[in-house]
């Protein structure tokens, strides 16, 4: 077992990924340190935060109840971020290594993940500062053991979620809705299960042998996970491919070649894990409207414009950030086939516009909070389709690293470069800058009309803009193709 872990460590440290881009390695390192520092600070000063928000209530009880929201959110984040170490053990299947040992290794290795570290850092400072000094030792250590048990349970649940939810993506949408409903109910105090959760936690911790209950749950789930992996460890299961239903839309067939290319783009999103998971993950961020559309922010037009811009592009952004990188594995095909660049670029533009329109439809219920939200979001979706799409496309012509379609969805910067970040930032913050200029001129309310008109002009004159993108792509296509060939 130890030797397998050593092999995995050597695989990570010797991977060529770390030598590909020093810039990305620095960014990832700084982001990791940023999250670690924030989780430690939040945990250490949690008592002060709780006392200010919930005066007169017991800090430990409130913190314990709030951990429910964290663990629910963590389940979703694990699905998108935590990549299971199943593929890495396939070379060992031909060696004299017991399958049961490989399965145990896979389960144990899954615990060495950054998410688990963050969860521990969220709990330990609070435990040593509040729980351990204020409660009996038996209660305190039972409380800590229950917290670590929830981390282990979430880690083990991820195996089942990856197996069953990946086969049925609609289950993910149900899970997101349930978690969002519980969180929204708790924030609005219409539905709160935190009191019952914290009460049960405290009751188990008060038992002399209370740690046995969560320990039994962890062992039961580990046993279930072991058998899930055991059923998937045979070569016929590893190589077995599921029959895919061919996407047949008569509406797209009527558009000829353009419709066929559009169906190819839809298949690319639905059939490749990284793109599909990113799209589903960004759909979850549509719920951010409940956070930003507050009574205070409804009076701030700049906040409504920025929120409307982000919400109406959030689903399309996972696609638009990698317009041409997504085709990296078969980009040479597009260069040598008789498909014209106009058709190729127009297909990308139509797909981006379709995803923006889907996001816009999903944000329309926010108009029930305030009718002006619908007016602003309409202007911003026109802006995103007519202007932002072309800014994204120009930026993507400078992004040439190969893109792994089957990689992890989050915290995965494979396929991105420095030019990618430089090009995306102006596209996101340009509307805010324009609005500030209008407000400085004393006509801030007219900026919304400006966004709508410019978006309509961008849509109406898309033929001219396609010609500009085509000229840029002609200059960059061989450089991009050479970058896409590098693995």
Q: Which of 461, 477, 308 is nearest to 397 (CA)?
A: 477
Q: What is the pLDDT along the chain (487 residues), one digit of tens a residue?
A: 677 767 766 766 665 555 555 656 676 678 889 889 999 999 999 988 888 888 888 899 989 988 988 888 888 778 767 776 655 666 776 777 777 888 888 888 888 888 899 999 999 999 999 999 999 999 999 999 999 999 999 998 888 777 766 666 556 666 666 666 666 555 555 556 778 888 899 999 998 888 899 999 999 999 988 888 877 665 444 444 444 444 455 556 666 677 778 888 887 777 776 777 667 666 667 767 777 787 777 878 888 888 888 888 887 887 877 788 777 777 777 777 778 888 888 888 988 988 888 888 888 888 888 888 889 999 999 999 999 888 888 888 887 777 666 655 555 555 566 556 666 677 778 888 898 898 888 888 888 899 999 999 999 998 999 999 999 888 888 888 887 777 6
pLDDT reported for residue 127: 93
Do 80 and 409 touch, CB atoms closer than 8 A?
yes
Do 160 and 79 touch, CB atoms closer than 8 A?
no
Q: Which residues are within 8 A (CB) of 310 and not within 5 positions of it... i.e. 6 or more apart?
A: 288, 428
Alpha-carbon span 346 to 383, nearest angstrom: 17
pLDDT reported for residue 246: 47
pLDDT reported for residue 169: 59
Quickly tell me which residue has 């850092």 as its tokens.
Answer: 121
pLDDT reported for residue 116: 92
pLDDT reported for residue 385: 92
CA 177 to centroid of chain Cα atoms: 15
> For the chain, how many residues are written?
487
Question: Could you give the C-alpha distances from 278 to 303, 322, 407, in angstroms and in order?
Answer: 25, 12, 10
Q: Which of 266, 258, 64, 79 is nearest to 146 (CA)?
A: 64
Q: Which of 74, 73, 72, 60 is nearest to 199 (CA)?
A: 60
Helix, strand, coil share (%) of the chain residues, nearest 5: 80, 0, 20
pLDDT reported for residue 131: 92
Q: For the full predicted model, state whether its pTM sits above 0.75.
A: no
Alpha-carbon span 190 to 203, nearest angstrom: 25
Q: Which residues are within 8 A (CB) of 90 and not within 5 positions of it... i.e. 6 or more apart?
A: 238
Alpha-carbon span 160 to 157, nearest angstrom: 5
Quickly tell me which residue has 């460590």 as its tokens.
Answer: 9
Do 303 and 297 touch, CB atoms closer than 8 A?
yes
Question: Could you give the C-alpha distances from 125 to 117, 191, 205, 484, in angstroms and in order?
Answer: 13, 29, 18, 45
Alpha-carbon span 11 to 263, nearest angstrom: 38
> What does the DSSP assignment read for 348-372?
HHHHHHHHHHHHHHHHGGGGGT-TH
pLDDT reported for residue 21: 56
Q: What dihedral angle (degrees, nearest 10) is formed by the CA atoms of 395, 400, 402, 404?
A: -10
Q: What dihedral angle (degrees, nearest 10) is formed by the CA atoms of 82, 74, 111, 41?
A: 110
Cα-flanking dihedrals φ and ψ of residue 211, to 5°?
A: -65, -15
Helix or strand holding residue 84 (H, E)? none
Do 315 and 286 touch, CB atoms closer than 8 A?
yes
pLDDT reported for residue 241: 43
pLDDT reported for residue 233: 61
pLDDT reported for residue 433: 87
For the stretch 367-408, pLDDT in tens is 888 888 889 999 999 999 999 888 888 888 887 777 666 655
**288 C-beta neighbours (distance < 10 Å), count:** 13
Q: Which of 73, 51, 74, 75 is nearest to 63 (CA)?
A: 51
If phi > 0 it is left, if psi is from -120 to 50 it is alpha, else beta; for residue 59 that is alpha
> What does the DSSP assignment read for 24-47?
HHHHHHHHHHHHHHHHHHHHHTHH
Half-sphere exposure of residue 349: CA atoms within 13 angstroms, side-chain side: 25
Do 223 and 159 touch, CB atoms closer than 8 A?
no
> What does the DSSP assignment read for 400-424?
-S---TTS-SSS--TT--HHHHHHH
pLDDT reported for residue 336: 79
Alpha helices in 87-136 (DSSP H): 99-110, 114-126, 132-134
Quickly tell me which residue has 């188990």 as its tokens.
Answer: 204
374 burial level (CB within 10 Å; 0-12, 13-18, 19+) = middle
């Amino acid at each position: 077992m130890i030797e397998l872990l050593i092999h995995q460590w050597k695989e990570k440290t010797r991977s060529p990924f770390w030598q590909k881009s020093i810039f990305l390695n620095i960014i990832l390192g700084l982001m990791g340190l940023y999250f670690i520092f924030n989780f430690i600070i939040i945990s250490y000063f949690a008592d002060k935060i709780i006392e200010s928000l919930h005066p007169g209530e017991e800090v430990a009880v409130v913190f314990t109840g709030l951990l429910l929201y964290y663990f629910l959110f963590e389940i979703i984040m694990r699905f998108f971020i935590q990549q299971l170490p199943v593929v890495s053990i396939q070379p060992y299947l031909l060696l004299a290594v017991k399958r049961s040992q490989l399965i145990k290794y896979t389960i144990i290795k899954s615990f060495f993940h950054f998410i688990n570290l963050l969860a521990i850092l969220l709990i330990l400072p609070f435990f040593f500062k509040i729980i351990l000094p204020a409660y009996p030792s038996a209660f305190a250590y039972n409380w800590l053991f229950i917290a670590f048990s929830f981390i282990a349970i979430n880690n083990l649940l991820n195996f089942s979620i990856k197996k069953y939810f990946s086969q049925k993506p609609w289950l993910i949408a149900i899970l997101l809705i349930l978690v969002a409903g519980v969180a929204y109910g708790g924030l609005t105090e219409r539905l709160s299960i935190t009191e019952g959760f914290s009460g049960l936690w405290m009751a188990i911790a008060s038992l002399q042998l209370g740690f046995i209950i969560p320990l039994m749950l962890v062992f039961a789930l580990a046993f279930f996970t072991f058998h899930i992996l055991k059923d998937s460890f045979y070569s016929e299961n590893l190589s077995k491919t599921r029959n895919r239903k061919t996407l047949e839309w008569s509406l797209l067939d009527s558009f000829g070649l353009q419709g066929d290319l559009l169906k190819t783009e839809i298949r690319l999103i639905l059939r490749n894990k990284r793109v599909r998971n990113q799209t589903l993950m960004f759909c979850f961020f549509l719920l951010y409207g409940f956070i930003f559309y507050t009574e205070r922010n409804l009076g701030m037009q700049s906040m409504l414009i920025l929120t409307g811009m982000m919400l109406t592009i959030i689903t399309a952004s996972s696609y638009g950030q990698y317009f041409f990188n997504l085709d990296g594995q078969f980009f040479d095909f597009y260069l040598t086939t008789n498909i014209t660049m106009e058709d190729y670029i127009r297909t990308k533009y139509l797909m981006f516009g379709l995803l923006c329109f889907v996001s816009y439809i999903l944000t329309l219920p926010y108009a029930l909070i305030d009718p002006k939200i619908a007016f602003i979001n309409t202007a911003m979706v026109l802006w995103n389709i007519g202007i932002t799409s072309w800014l994204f496309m120009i930026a993507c012509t400078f992004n040439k690293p190969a893109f792994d379609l089957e990689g992890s969805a989050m915290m995965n910067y494979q396929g991105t470069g420095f030019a990618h970040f430089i090009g995306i930032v102006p596209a996101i913050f340009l509307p805010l800058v324009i609005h500030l200029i209008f407000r400085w001129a004393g006509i801030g309310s007219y900026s919304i009309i400006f966004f709508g008109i410019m978006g309509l002009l961008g849509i109406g004159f898309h033929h001219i803009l396609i010609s500009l993108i085509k000229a840029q792509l002609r200059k960059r296509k061989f450089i991009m193709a050479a970058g896409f060939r590098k693995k």
